[in-house]
Structure 1
Amino acid sequence: MRIKAPAKINLSLRVTSKREDGFHEIITLMQPLSLSDLITVTVNNGAGITITCDDPDIPTDGRNLAYKAALMFLEEAGLARKVHIDMGKRIPVAAGLGGGSSDGAATLQALNELTGAPLTEAQLHAIAAGLGSDVPFFLLRGSAVAGGRGELLRPVKLPGYSYILINPGFGVSAAWAYGNLTLTETSHNIRITDLEESAVALLERPSSVVDILENDLERAVAAQRPEVSELLLALKESGAAGALMSGSGPTVFGLFLSESGAAPALEALEERFKGYDYRIIAAKGL
């Protein structure tokens, strides 16, 4: 079975507090993108989990979230099966786009369908939450406001914005980004209902999205990697309605209200950064 595992961007990411378990409480608005990995899952009689991937830098053992997802699924379902997962990677790694989390969610969904749906949506969600903060979001296959660690989800519909993503060619650990964050008083006052109301209003007034574009992790990452600020400026100069770092970075995105506005900007940015080790990607919000 083949299934797409989409990337995501955070249109807003506010960190409200640090929890006793070491995680952070967040309030975020996420939208899945047309940019996706392609996951092919095969199930046969027998036992064992194997992974192949067209990116040699991706681990194919127990460190891979898709592997962990398959293992946890089989244990929860009480099944003994031979599972093979082939991964066609298109989403940059350690980039703030949720690629690994999306691969894990896609694996869970594929396995549940291939084995006759032995697990309920609630059971899949519980496994996903155990795999990582972003994994439950990808089970939705749509946009959502998220709270808690990211596992408390409120689905919303968003306009199909056009995006240009720029990945500067290096990775950022989410743990490092959160560890270098300075919590602000403003973030403490944010409520999930506020962001949910703002998200719902975007369908009637898509341009108001610029009012919510904020990422509390951006300053911490940009302080160590000035390329982030430079690329954000370049996106704004290209005509983006707004620009932001996604998740824990370092990928940044420019948001365009139409594809016709994004097309010339993509061409200009590709010319501007010719010779740089950057990935510049056009994508559509789903």
Structure 2
Amino acid sequence: MDEIELKAHGKINLSLDVLSRREDGYHNVKMIMQSVALHDTVFLKKEEERGIRLSCNLASLPTDEGNLMVRAAKLMQEEFSIPDGIGMRLHKRLPVAAGMAGGSSDAAAVFLGLNQLFHLGLSVSELEKRAVKLGADIPFCLHRGCFLSEGIGEKLQELPPLPPCHIILAKPAFSLSTKLIYENLHVDGIHKAEHPDVDRMIQELKKNNLEGICHLGGNILERVSLKLRPEIRELKNYFTEKGALLSLMSGSGPTVFAIFPKEEEAKCHAILEDLKNTALNNLLELSCITAPC
């Protein structure tokens, strides 16, 4: 096998809590992440000429060490003295800087793909130890499904997946700085009652109760993001008014996702059509329907 193709799935945060700021500048988090069907496609192949080469369908993305895919490939190539060159091609579908772990998922695909392509024999847990050196979300992205994520994001516990449903994604055509949002969160000043109840959501996941899960959805980072970009609140309110069981920002944003029951697929398509006729559509980079995976 000299070439491999992998899907790099995006994620949403069903619940995101920040517990404390660490001495190293990172934050301790407690969050529930669910992978979604919307994905990038990563192509990897062995090449005769040594080196790492990346191409992408989006000209705006870096193809040097500013891209996590290149850094992941370099880490693996150097550690295992891989003599071959590594050619990588990325077909980007996930929105960039969206709070959906697109870059982390692409890097995770590189770790998984090179492990297979060069028969390195590493377990997923061994890949996780390497992946966290590049980004806290990458260990989760080595998996599909639903996971509790703690520490800086590297401590993972598998959970029952989100029940079958439809998820509308709406990514505004602007970005938010994750660093800026965390710097302005001031977690020590947030009352305990204002934090999402992650433990109760875990119980609802175990019951396979979609309405109960959605009732407990929360993202503590919205406290900052909604102040910086009120358009996020407008999107959340739009989906809530359309009957979404949950309308929430994913990660540090700005993507908003809305969850609808499985039987409401036609309604979701109608909502997307309606969205095209509203002023909100003018600020969107992406709007689509996906599902848990």
Q: TM-score range by the shorter chain?
A: over 0.9
| Shift >4 Å, 4+ stretches | 187-195
Match of 1:146 among 144, 149, 155: 149
Cα contact 1:244–1:252 (8 A) shared by 2: yes
Match of 1:166, SS state, is: strand
The equivalent of 1:9 in structure 2 is 12
Aligned mates of 1:41, 1:240 — CA distance in 2? 39
Tell me the secondary structure at the aligned position of residue 42 of structure 2.
strand
1:199 to 2:205 alignment: yes
Distance 1:98 1:118, change over 3 A: same
Listed one character per residue, the Cα deviations across residues 42-85 of structure 1 (whole Å, up to 9, x for unaligned) are 11344210110111110000010000111111223232220111
**Counterparts of residues 173-212 of structure 1 (less than 5 Å):** 173-183=177-187, 184-186=190-192, 194-201=200-207, 203=208, 205-212=209-216
Q: Take 2:192 and 2:67, find their aligned partners in 1: how far apart are those partners?
A: 36
- Partner letter of residue 284 of structure 1? A
CA distance in 2, matches of 1:200, 1:67: 38
Whether the aligned pair in 1 keeps the contact of 2:32 and 2:198 (CA below 8 Å) is: no
Query: Shift of residue 173 of structure 1?
Result: 1.9
Q: Is the 8 A contact 1:11 1:31 kept in 2?
A: yes
* Aligned residue type for 2:191: E
Kept after mapping to 2: 8 A contact 1:145/1:195: no
TM-score norm. by structure 2 comes to 0.91
Counterpart in the other structure of 2:290: 283
Cα RMSD between the aligned structures? 1.9
What does 1:80-95 align with in structure 2 at a 5 Å threshold? 80-95=83-98
Q: Is the 8 A contact 2:195 2:220 kept in 1?
A: no
Matching residue's letter, 1:11: L
Offset from partner CA, 1:245-275 (integer Å, 9 cap, x none) = 0000011111111224422222222222476
Find the residue that maps to 1:30 and give its secondary structure: strand
Q: Normalization by structure 1: what TM-score? A: 0.93
What is the CA–CA distance in structure 2 between the aligned matches of 1:101 and 1:144, rounded to whole Å? 16
Partner residue of 1:73? Answer: 76
Name stretches of at least 5 consecutive residues in structure 1 with no aligned partner.
Answer: none
| Cα offsets for 1:15-47 (capped at 9, x unmatched) | 010111111111111111111111111113442
Q: Which amino acid aligns with 2:103?
A: G
Q: Aligned match of 1:219 in 223, 228, 245?
A: 223
Q: Which residue of structure 1 aligns with residue 112 of structure 2?
A: 109
Structure 2: runs of 5+ lacking an equivalent: none
